[in-house]
Structure 1
Amino acid sequence: MTRYPTVLTIAGSDSGGGAGIQADLKTIAALGAYGASAITALTAQNTLGVSAIHAVPPAFLKAQLEAVFEDITVDAVKIGMVNTIEVALVISEIIEKYKPGFVVFDPVMVSTSGSRLIQEETVAVLWEALFSKVNLITPNLDEAQILISKQIETVEAMKAAAEEMVRRGCNAVLLKGGHLVGPVLSDIFARKNEDTLIFESEYIDSPNVHGTGCTLSSAIASFMATGYSLPEAIIFSKEYISGAIEAGKNITTGNGPGPLNHSFSPVPMQTI
């Protein structure tokens, strides 16, 4: 029997629909995979910002995760908002128990509007219990600065930061340079025992970039679930992001930074 390539997203819910679980599931579906989900936190959120966060009890998060893994074959996992120590430890335990083939972690720490989404003490636990168990982390510049406690203002500093994170225990890092605005954007890909790579893309002038990080990481998970190598998955995901930003740049959704157009070129559901 055939089945759908399946991606499990473990993330927070964005009531405005532009980021988090909602963006992940839109992306996974648009790229032809099947999406399952486990919610870590509920946010009261729109295009203007986050007004409240309600954490999901760790025991219930664990129940969600076990319900998925005990029944459905999961080809790739995307982790997003992990805002408490207890949530980090539950996810670490589940990864250790079920050993999914590929895990990408987008360490969501600051919202597009600048709201801090993670507790300070949780950062240390991410280093201790989670980063070494995932295949790839995808921080943006703000998140990388929190993780290594250093300012990052140039591409060379990005390269040094990504390589430092690998030395500190990450298996691979895709450090996103979208906050360094210029005609060409650079993302740095570093991993153990491999040369560091720079992926470049053209800057697209758009006010609608809410949920870009969520979308990129879930796209990488989707391409990995369907059988691509990690460098290929990154390249194709960046192409998808550029297309989604371009297709949504002139659309108004709310009064702040709007979402991407996740469904600008949908792929039919695949089977494996």
Structure 2
Amino acid sequence: MSEINSFPQTLTIAGTDSGGGAGIMADMKTMQECGAFSTAVIVAVTAQNTLGVQDFQALDPKLINEQFSSINGDFKIRACKTGMLADAEHVSIVVDNLKKYDFGPLVLDPVMIAKGGAQLLSDEGINTIKNDLVKLSELITPNIPEAERLADCEIKNKDDMLLAAKKIKEMGAKNVLIKGGHSESLEVNDLVLLDDESHFWMKSKRVDTIRTHGTGDTISSAIVSRLALGDDMKSAILYGKDFVEAAIKNTIQVGHGHGPLNHWAYNAGGNNNEI
């Protein structure tokens, strides 16, 4: 008989997406596809589809604390991630629980700025992430607008991205991945700054599609899964890039708006994105 809890287990701490394309739904689909068993702590519930978010409600702190306690009491979590955390109060609740329980390395997806530029978290909540949550993370994965907000600088080119990554690392994050999808170039360039101060770029051709809902959730979840399976950080990040690129290229026709990724598309192969 296999040892209890020997199978790799992960945890996502985020909000739901009733449309199934992002949030905890995307996280759990991705983790399953990557070979890890996923658990979840739900921080907020949304009424959402491919056309937008119609409503949301953050959960009662007591229930969030009980979810953390329940996960800790039964599972052996090897790696975890955060996503949408609602507001400053709920960011603080998550910080307190991550200090209390050992859930392995944390991948922080700082959900603050939407693809269209809308701010998804209050200024107070963003400050709580910067001051308290970043320093707990093994990896942080901001998009360009989020990196600009975290580093308090404008990003117009690759040199700016590297400067921003170094500033974010100084806040306490061990590794930094700045996703380049918000740039207007025909080629997407993602920057990775590792704990040892080395850095590299991942490049991919931009796909002409609006079906990219949940991209940030998906790449961070793939990375978490590979960390739980024993990959080193660089290998996990390269795998995550390959996984999300396949999920964008091989679209599925779901919904009338900004559609979801195809979480079943990844076909194991070489890591071909490093420059």
Asked if Structure 1 and Structure 2 have the same fold, meaning a TM-score greater than 0.5 normalized by the shorter chain, the answer is: yes
In structure 1, how many angstroms separate the alpha carbons of the residues matched to 2:195 and 2:238?
19
In structure 2, how many angstroms separate the alpha carbons of the residues matched to 1:193 and 1:266?
30
- 1:223 equivalent in alignment to 2:226: yes
Normalised by the length of structure 1, the TM-score is: 0.92
C-alpha deviation, 1:48, in angstroms = 1.5
The residue that corresponds to 1:270 in the other structure is: none
The residue that corresponds to 1:73 in the other structure is: 76
In structure 2, how many angstroms separate the alpha carbons of the residues matched to 1:266 and 1:86?
40
- 1:22 equivalent in alignment to 2:15: no
Pick 1 or 2: higher relative contact order, CA cutoff 8 A, min separation 6: 1
In structure 2, how many angstroms separate the alpha carbons of the residues matched to 1:114 and 1:52?
18
Relative to structure 2, which stretch is displaced further, 173-182 or 216-225? 173-182
Alignment of 1:161-176 (within 5 A): 161-176=164-179
Letter matched to residue 178 of structure 1? G
Is the contact made by 1:166 and 1:191 (CA closer than 8 Å) also made in structure 2? Answer: no
The correspondence for 1:120, drawn from 114, 123, 129, is 123
Relative to structure 2, which stretch is displaced further, 206-215 or 153-162? 153-162
Q: 4+ residue runs of structure 1 moved beyond 6 angstroms?
A: none
- Report the RMSD for the aligned CA atoms in angstroms: 1.6
In structure 2, how many angstroms separate the alpha carbons of the residues matched to 1:52 and 1:114?
18
Letter matched to residue 78 of structure 2? D
Identity of aligned residues (%): 37
Relative to structure 2, which stretch is displaced further, 93-102 or 71-80? 93-102
Relative to structure 2, which stretch is displaced further, 164-173 or 30-39? 164-173
The residue that corresponds to 1:205 in the other structure is: 208
The residue that corresponds to 2:40 in the other structure is: 37
Is the contact made by 2:11 and 2:79 (CA closer than 8 Å) also made in structure 1? Answer: yes
The correspondence for 1:10, drawn from 10, 13, 16, is 13
Is the contact made by 1:40 and 1:56 (CA closer than 8 Å) also made in structure 2? Answer: yes
Letter matched to residue 161 of structure 1? A
The correspondence for 2:147, drawn from 144, 148, 158, is 144
The residue that corresponds to 1:259 in the other structure is: 260
The residue that corresponds to 2:55 in the other structure is: 52
Letter matched to residue 215 of structure 1? T
Letter matched to residue 258 of structure 1? G
Which ranges in structure 1 are unaligned for 5 or more consecutive residues?
268-272
Normalised by the length of structure 2, the TM-score is: 0.91
C-alpha deviation, 1:24, in angstroms = 0.3
The correspondence for 2:137, drawn from 112, 134, 137, is 134
C-alpha deviation, 1:261, in angstroms = 0.5
Is the contact made by 2:242 and 2:266 (CA closer than 8 Å) also made in structure 1? Answer: no
The correspondence for 2:188, drawn from 166, 185, 195, is 185
Which ranges in structure 2 are unaligned for 5 or more consecutive residues?
269-275
C-alpha deviation, 1:112, in angstroms = 3.7
The residue that corresponds to 2:272 in the other structure is: none
